[in-house]
């Protein structure tokens, strides 16, 4: 049995994807974390070498989770922007 190492891009993308719910509370990071996780996961899956690496499943899961997280973050920001636009005095 040969020693295969994990693809670092797949692992990093998956970690960012999974940590998004915790980092969602940080505010400005709301779009950055899933976008970076998605990018790293895509790079990891694209550069994956099955003969010498493992972790392609982590990259695929990172893509899926990050895409959902990015959609949730965008929807959240749109709702906050809509509320902010209609907040305040009605006499304008």
The 10s digit of each residue's pLDDT in 21-69 is 887 777 767 788 889 999 999 999 999 998 999 999 999 999 999 999 8
In the predicted model, what is the mean pLDDT of residues 67-81? Answer: 89
Q: Does any domain span residue 42? A: yes
For residue 30, being part of any structural domain is answered with: yes
Residue 92 lies in a domain: no
Q: For position 32, what pLDDT does the model report?
A: 86
State residue 62's pLDDT score: 95
Note the pLDDT of residue 6. 94
CA distance 65 to 18: 7
For residue 91, pLDDT beyond 60: no
Is 90 inside a domain boundary?
A: no
pTM above 0.85, yes or no: no
Q: Does the residue 80 lie in any domain?
A: yes
**Separation in Å, CA 76 to CA 21, 28, 54:** 13, 12, 35
pLDDT at 73 over 70: yes
| Averaged pLDDT, 13-27 | 85
State the total domains in the chain: 1
Measuring CA to CA, how many Å separate 23 from each of 28, 47, 88? 10, 27, 29
């Amino acid at each position: 049995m040969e020693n295969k190492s994990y693809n670092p891009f797949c692992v990093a993308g998956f970690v960012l994807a999974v940590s998004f719910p915790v980092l969602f509370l940080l505010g400005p990071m709301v779009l950055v974390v899933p976008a970076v996780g998605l990018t790293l996961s895509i790079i990891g899956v694209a550069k994956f070498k099955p003969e010498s690496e493992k972790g392609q499943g982590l990259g695929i899961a990172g893509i899926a989770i990050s895409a959902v997280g990015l959609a949730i973050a965008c929807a959240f920001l749109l709702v906050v922007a809509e509320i902010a636009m209609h907040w305040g005095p009605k006499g304008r």
